[in-house]
Amino acid sequence: MEPAKIPVEPPKKRRIGVLTSGGDAPGMNGAVRAVVRMAIHSDCEAYAVFEGYEGLVNGGNMIRQLHWEDVRGWLSRGGTLIGSARCMTFRERAGRMKAAKNMVLRGIDALVVCGGDGSLTGADVFRAEWPSLLSDLVAAGELTREQVEPYKVLNIVGLVGSIDNDMSGTDATIGCYSSLTRICDAVDDVFDTAFSHQRGFVIEVMGRHCGWLALMSAISTGADWLFIPEMPPQDGWEDEMCSMITKNRKDRGKRRTIVIVAEGAQDRHLNKISSSKIKDILTDRLGLDTRTTVLGHTQRGGAACAYDRWLSTLQGVEAVKAILEQTPQSPVPVITIRENKIMRTPLMEAVQLTKDVTEKIQSKQFDAAMDMRDAEFKEYYDAYLNTATPDHPRLHLPEGKRMRIAIIHVGAPAGGMNPATRAAVAYCLTRGHTPIAIHNGFPGLVRHHNDKPVSSVREVRWLESDSWVNEGGSDIGTNRSLPSDDMDGVAKCFDLYKFDALFVVGGFEAFTAVSQLRQAREKYDAFKIPLIVLPATISNNVPGTEYSLGSDTCLNTLIDFCDAIRQSASSSRRRVFVIETQGGKSGYIATTAGLAVGAVAVYIPEEGIDIKMLSRDIDFLRDNFVRDKGANRAGKIILRNECASGTYTTQVVADMIKEEAKGRFESRAAVPGHFQQGGKPSPMDRVRALRMAIKCMRHIESYTGQSRDAIANDPLSSAVIGVKGSQVLFSPMGGDSGLEETETDWTRRRPKSEFWLELQDVVNTLSGRSASRTQEGWFCYENPSSIQSIPSVPNSP
């Protein structure tokens, strides 16, 4: 056969391909966008393979170069815009030979694959066979030795796109939290009808071999019963389920019943447990008016949630870095996340672990299957079992070890406060502790006590707290007042109510309150008890953690607002919106939201705003509109933190842009204000609230039986629970290595070192702003589109 008549000389720039395969998941478009723009930023060319491996096999116009502007606006789009198809041809060696030939002809020697374990396994096989595939192509006369010489090594990096979250070695896969959001929205909508008519609902969710969606939706919605593939119920489950639901409804007064079942649910003999079977059991045995809802493919639809946009973007950026750093000896990596840290994991190790779990399930080794899931999965499962209802007499502690645990909210309301309190109450009741809610913060505690208990300090019952599972804000009330306003009164109340521990949920004020109580221990023995903070604030500015409850809810609300605003900006085609975000003196919300919505620029207190910066950004906008010529319908957004500057307010910035645009484009200001606190908590805030609240309760339990002086001498008796890198841990408030001294910027009310600051560079890189501050304070932009460069600014004071 005649070798292909193409130039032998390889392209001047390295070419990186990206494809999505095996299915679609919300967030895949964000990953493609990040790969394309990071590749261009890294002086490479980006190529999209349309329709997955089928496009790789067929070649031609199905492998096309993507430019910077081609992926504009993709973050807010659902599904995958480059298509995804299952390809039987690629599973055969002949098909992979065609794919290899098409890649060589296109000059592509690196591929980012976003898909499930099957798609990623195929990518690993493709890389392993690559040298022999090229040899066979040369031997068959399909290609010449000169053509294949520059492409001896194929570099591949995997991204996991799957709503099931069924890949081992990662806490989350692209799309799983968006799918969970769809499920929770559907079940939340069912709540009112279930309550009004005292009905039962059986909700079937996706998950053939993995129960992550079912488990997390059961936690997020307070489901009465749960069925997952990894841990089938014991024989006789029908009677146990009916007994528990009867107790909840008749003895405890619960009006609604929710049962969550994964599509792959089965009993211990591998017989399928269908949603219809469960419905029939509840109807026939209990006479319960029961409805079945099979959510189906609605779980895949819609735009990605904030977390999936953030995750897919950062993983796409990391994938390009991994491509450029790979050597011929490097194993194929898959980009994963552990807690809050993006990591690289050997692909086939993760794939093999995933397959091993399925094999354990099929061989009825259910305990082993649970052990092989990530530790976080089993932890969530145990937490659900212990808090779904308080009916666990065998888990009660002896009388002498039971505690009176006070729960208080301090600071501004944040999504996740109510779910965290609900989890703490349920765990306390399960163990025999007495949960005591302090209503309206420290003022509610000390109000008119006069040695007599008041209604704002009272025990919480299970039924009261059960409805808090999906409620935003703070049902027991919160405010910013601190114990220092009346330290004597607070100490007196601690003694009056005989608190054995204090669980504080809130933001920087909560952190400050516990710091004050800890320091007052020298004077007041009442404070020599465990004092634990669970950070909950949309600002995410609490020292000791990289994640606070409520921040994810805020981000989802903010990106919904920005998506609607962008639609307005896109309709007029030549409009910029300057949107003001909350966050106090921490720019976390502005920066992370900027990453999730593809903002042109983000202004934060940590960097401030000056006239030179605004001038450069206006030049940058002007250049963008000149190149677009009104043809691109994607509007432009700038995010400004509320405290970024006292002079350059949101309205002033918008007016300056409008004035300097000279009619070439328009600008508007928008202030969502307290809308950003959100309504119902996001699923992530709900599930993490449960996990962290229970960890806090167990930490408090560890001090049972200790003297007050022994407790006070333990640095971890006053602590903050938080996510740090890839771990969840407790950090002491005081001591030589305590948060108060080492990590807290008290003046600016934020941590001294903010982990997310490096995300500013990612925002700037992917917007094309590519900002780097010089010693003179100027911003220098490099425009990857290279259609028309921005005039340089003299480096003068």
Which CATH number does the domain housing residue 486 bear?
A: 3.40.50.450
Q: Does residue 257 share a domain with residue 227?
A: yes
635 and 762, same domain (yes or no): yes
Host domain of residue 656: 553-679+758-767
Q: In this predicted structure, what is the pLDDT of residue 622?
A: 87
583 labelled as ligand-binding?
yes
Across-strand partners of 505? 409, 534
Task: Spell out the SS3 assignment of 374-387.
Answer: CHHHHHHHHHHHHH
- Residue 428 and residue 569 in one domain: no
> Quick one: DSSP state of residue 46?
E
**Dihedral class, residue 72 (left if φ above 0, else alpha if ψ from -120 to 50, else beta):** beta
Q: Is 284 annotated as ligand-binding?
A: no
Q: How far is CA 452 from CA 355, 406, 447, 457, 493, in A?
A: 61, 17, 10, 11, 9
Q: How many domains does the chain have?
A: 4
Please tell me whether residues 515 and 561 are part of one structural domain.
no
Q: For the domain that residue 626 is a member of, what is the CATH number? A: 3.40.50.460
Please tell me whether residues 569 and 698 are part of one structural domain: no
- Would you say 333 and 158 are in contact if contact means Cβ atoms under 8 Å apart? yes
- Answer with the one of 275, 300, 325 that is the final residue of a domain: 300
783 lies in some domain: no
Q: Answer whether residue 82 is part of any domain.
A: yes
**Active site amino acids:** 164
Across the chain, which has 797 residues, the per-10-residue mean pLDDT values are 52 91 90 97 96 95 94 91 90 95 95 93 94 96 94 95 92 95 92 75 93 97 95 95 91 88 96 96 93 89 93 97 92 93 94 93 94 88 89 88 97 96 96 96 81 78 92 95 96 96 98 98 97 98 97 96 84 84 96 96 96 93 75 77 97 95 88 92 97 97 96 97 93 93 96 94 90 39 38 30
Same domain assignment for residues 76 and 204: no
Q: Is 477 annotated among the ligand-binding residues?
A: no
Kindly state whether residue 778 falls inside one of the protein's structural domains. Answer: no
Exposure of 684 in the CB half-sphere (CA atoms within 13 A): 24
In a domain, 779, yes or no: no
> Are 374 and 169 contacting, i.e. CB atoms less than 8 angstroms apart?
yes
* 792 part of a folded domain: no
**Are 285 and 315 in the same domain?**
no
In a domain, 735, yes or no: no
Establish whether 548 is an annotated binding residue.
no
In a domain? residue 736: no
Report the DSSP pairing between strands 63-66 and 155-160: unpaired
635 and 507 together in one domain = no
Same domain as 163, residue 35: yes
Per the CB < 8 A criterion, the answer to whether 203 and 186 are in contact is: yes
Confirm or deny that 760 is annotated as ligand binding.
Answer: no
Q: Examine the domain organization and report whether 141 and 189 are in the same domain.
A: no
Q: Are residues 452 and 484 in the same domain?
A: yes
116 is in an annotated binding site: yes
Element (H, E) at 261: strand 257-262
Q: What is the pLDDT of residue 774?
A: 37
* Inside any domain, residue 785: no
Residue 163, annotated as binding a ligand? yes
In terms of domains, do 702 and 648 share one? no
